[in-house]
Amino acid sequence: MNVLSQNVALAASAPMVSEQYDDARQQREAATLGMWVFLATEILFFGVLFASYTILRVLYPQGFAVASRHTDMLFGTIETGVLLSSSCLIALAVRAVKLDQHRVAVWLLSATAMLGVTFLVMHGFEYYKEYTEHLIPGIDFKQPAPRAHAVELFFCLYYCITGFHSLHVTIGVIVIVVLAVRVKNATFGSQRYTYPELTALYWHLVDIVWIFVYPLLYLVGRSG
Amino acid sequence: MSTSDAALAIPSPSRSFWNGDYGLRAWLTTRDHKRIAILYALGITGFFFLGGAAATLIRVNLIEPTGSLLTAETYNKAFTFHGVVMVWFFLIPSIPATLGNFLLPLMIGARDVAFPRLNLASWYLYICGGLFAVASLLAGGVDTGWTFYTPFSTMFSNSNVFLVVIGVFVTGFASILTGLNFIVTIHTLRMPRMTWYRLPLFVWTMYAVSLVMVLATPVLAMTLALIALERLAHLGIFDPALGGDPLLFQHLFWFYSHPAVYIMILPAMGVVSEIIPCFVRRRIFGYRFMTYSILAITVIGFMVWGHHMFVAGQSMYASLVFSIMSFIVAVPSAIKVFNWTATLRKGAITFEAPMLYALGFIGLFMLGGLTGLMLAAPALDIPLTDTYFVVAHFHYVMVGGSVMAYLGGIHYWWPKITGKLYSEGWARAAAILMFFGFNLTFFPQYILGYEGMPRRYHSYLPDFQVLNVLSSAGASILALAYLLPVAYLLWSLRAGAAAGNNPWNARGLEWQTTSPPPKENFLSEPIVREAYAYDEPAP
Amino acid sequence: MNAHATDKVAPVSRYLWVLAALLALLALTAGTALLKLGAFNTPLNLGISVAKTALVMSIFMHSTEGRRLTFMVSLLGFIWLAILIGFALTDFTTRALVPAPW
């Protein structure tokens, strides 16, 4: 490439600095800080469910143990592994963008999205299984006494937590796919990588939420 | 723009942020924080009068002990609508989204907030949420009280809880995004030499209120979502029949709603901290302690919520903990009141309308705060809970405090925002009328509560009638006092004198630009000095 | 002034080692859940979750590599959640001991 087209290529992928910022670095710092603040709000958003879980489990420890044994530990464990791996892949994808390795980055982002879809599909199978076992509150919930109430409370929380989490996973998958397309079109690169970084931060948060969800929903009372 | 043009400081009308991009579409797609502030102001004023209409129904109904104007069910819907609208669609956004949005970049010497498009999105979320709330009213109203206590709201109320809960949920995100925007703006976009301890206290309170909005509102959002899910899908963690705990709801709800009252009062304190030094011609007393107090209120305010639940059935140990924390949180507020008062000492005090509002704030906030301290003691709270004493307390702080400060701020910065001067005579009259009307409305309610009149009842014992009539009479005076500013402020837009850059001879970067400011905020770089440098001439 | 790729791009191996550690911790948490450890199961599981989170945040999210401000913000949500859960538990754990008299 001659110098002119190189400059054009560079300019095309250079970040547009909005007028309220002095330079690109300030803009990037602001965007990163903003994203972390948003992640804090997400922690508190899910936190309500964790707080409710903690309180109800303090009230009904045995009931929660019984209920947790109804979840599919194998699926849950595999799902955790899937998300952890996807976290690694997206972190590597951002690294690749920063190094202008566009094809590698697109591949990694696509793989991340696929793992996200895998997670959702596995969850779907879990939900279906729980439906057949009458474990969905409000939809023909039937469990043997004496702990039926506590089991129902557990599963109310289970569906709230996994439902909101799956919603976030879905949004993340969509954003990652869009990101992959834009990386393919060389919108981002070593000159301009804030948006991929922020997307990755969001995806990591989704992973972190699940890191805590997994033992709390799937591993209670497993030792019988 | 050459320096000599700026030095002449002749406001060129075409450079004002009001001009340039004309038309509805330009305004509805603006990214200018000043225009977004105006958009918010319109919404907030509308909702204020909507909530005020509900209040009018309440006070007219309470003139007579039998409360025959409204049925019990309709009365429930009236006070619910009043609370929901006034809390979420008026008070919480009022100062931050209007004055905060307008002034924050100016006060720190920035060209706009960190995320202008997010700012506009906030406004749309606010309006959208508001429309849902109005829809819930048009569909027949909600009767749960603004506090949505379970299991009534989740299982037994037949009113439009789902709609109103969606409305508040959506508006909550407007709050969160505004807070996020302000935090990043203050950290990132302060001009060189504008260090933290040179910031006006208004900016400190915008920062603090943003922290609260960002950390508390998500909890409300999920709690409301849980109400909606329980109504919709019977996912009931608050259902006592399942062993769920209605008190769990209250813990979650008040974890947000107590800090929410600090969202309402901190910006008001910020406004007062700007007005008083200007009309006393002195630096604020104890600037550093004011900043520490602001942060202390912000943090400790998250640890007191259980004082709303002393009689709800929480353990006595929890009541003890929350009571102690509630006493502690009063200390920084008291420090601020002492400091404002100390600022007055040996100052050259003048009584323009903003100052009247600020002085009124100090007195009324103090009364409201002290009665809050009374309620923080379980021994006193237990007989006073759910009586008019509580109603009087929170109206003293929210109306006598926040609303007075909001109006004081509107008057103080009106020349800057519009470039026009309002009629000082009418403004002072309105402020005094408001002070009088407010006290006549709400002071009798302290006595009513003390004597045992319960709140949220459409009828009452005939013994309470005299005080109720006084209160309703006061409310009519208050209503008039609120309508007056609408009249003379709008009139000033047509016939007011031109304001000039700094009609109050105030300090602060916003007074170093034209009135109204140009779209880019500053035509020449403003000069940063110590905060409230009233002992030095204006730059 | 253009943004340029940060000179601190970690080698691929670091990410893969972290993934290996995360998966090992996952195996540990799942495995110990099947063991009868009584009251220790839950704190152990949560402790492992905290360790996983610390790894994800510090290495994948670079929370410790940027400004100190972003590091503090990264902890803010957790701290505030602890306030919510902690103070709420002062009620729920003591209800039986010191109930309200009504």
Inter-chain residue contact A34 with B115, CB threshold 8 Å: yes
Residues 15-54 on A with a CB inside 8 Å of C are 15, 23-25, 28-29, 32-33, 36-37, 39-44, 47-48, 50-51, 54
By Cβ distance, the residue of A41, A55, A56 closest to B218 is A41
Residues near A83 by beta carbon (within 8 Å), at least 6 away in sequence = A115, A116, A119, A206, A207, A210, A211
Fold of B29-512: Cytochrome C Oxidase; Chain A (1.20.210)
Chain C residues whose beta carbon lies within 8 Å of the beta carbon of residue B187: 69
Tally the domains of chain C.
2
pLDDT recorded at residue B7:
43
By Cβ distance, the residue of A20, A42, A48 closest to B110 is A20
Inter-chain residue contact B242 with A149, CB threshold 8 Å: yes
> Which residues are C100's β-sheet partners?
none
pLDDT recorded at residue B6:
43
pLDDT recorded at residue B5:
39
C19 shares its domain with C29? yes
Instruction: Going from the first residue of chain B to its last (539 residues), give the mean pLDDT of each consecutive group of 10, the final group possibly shorter.
Output: 43 75 93 97 97 97 94 96 97 97 97 97 98 94 95 90 96 98 97 96 98 98 95 87 91 97 98 98 96 98 97 94 97 97 95 98 97 96 96 97 98 97 97 97 98 96 96 97 97 94 95 94 93 91
Q: Is residue A112 part of a domain?
A: yes
* A59 closest CA partner among C34, B242, B255: B242
Cβ atoms B441, B430 nearer than 8 A: no
Interface test with A, best of B36, B125, B184, B250 (most A CBs within 10 A): B184
Q: How far apart are CA A209 and CA B535, in angstroms?
A: 54
Per DSSP, helices labelled H in B191-312 are 201-233, 246-280, 287-300
pLDDT recorded at residue B117:
96
C56 shares its domain with C79? no
Look up the pTM and report it: 0.94
pLDDT, average across residues C94-99: 86
pLDDT recorded at residue A10:
52
Domain extent, residue C45, equals 1-66
Cβ atoms B354, B408 nearer than 8 A: yes
Q: How far apart are CA C48 and CA C64, in angstroms?
A: 20
pLDDT, average across residues A27-42: 96
Query: DSSP assignment, residue B312?
Result: T
Least confident of A38-42, A146-150, B201-205, C43-47: A146-150
- B221 has a chain A CB within 8 A of its CB: yes
pLDDT recorded at residue C5:
47
Instruction: Determine whether B10 is exposed, middle or buried from the number of CB atoms within 10 Å of its CB (0-12, 13-18, 19+).
Output: exposed
C62 shares its domain with C73? no
Per DSSP, helices labelled H in B346-397 are 353-375, 378-384, 388-395
Q: Is residue A4 part of a domain?
A: no
Domain extent, residue A73, equals 24-218
Banded pLDDT at A6 (limits 50, 70, 90):
low
Q: How far apart are CA A54 and CA A174, in angstroms?
A: 32
* B350 closest CA partner among B493, B506, B539: B506
Banded pLDDT at C2 (limits 50, 70, 90):
very low
Q: Is residue A11 part of a domain?
A: no
Partners of chain B (3+ Cβ pairs below 8 A): A, C
Tally the domains of chain A.
1
CATH classification of the domain holding A161:
1.20.120.80
Chain B residues whose beta carbon lies within 8 Å of the beta carbon of residue A46: 222
C29 shares its domain with C39? yes
pLDDT in tens, A113-129: 999 999 999 999 999 99
For chain B, what are the domain ranges? 29-512
pLDDT recorded at residue B3:
43
- C100 has a chain B CB within 8 A of its CB: yes
Banded pLDDT at C94 (limits 50, 70, 90):
very high
C46 shares its domain with C12? yes
Chain A residues whose beta carbon lies within 8 Å of the beta carbon of residue C35: 223
By Cβ distance, the residue of C84, C97, C102 closest to B219 is C84
C78 shares its domain with C46? no
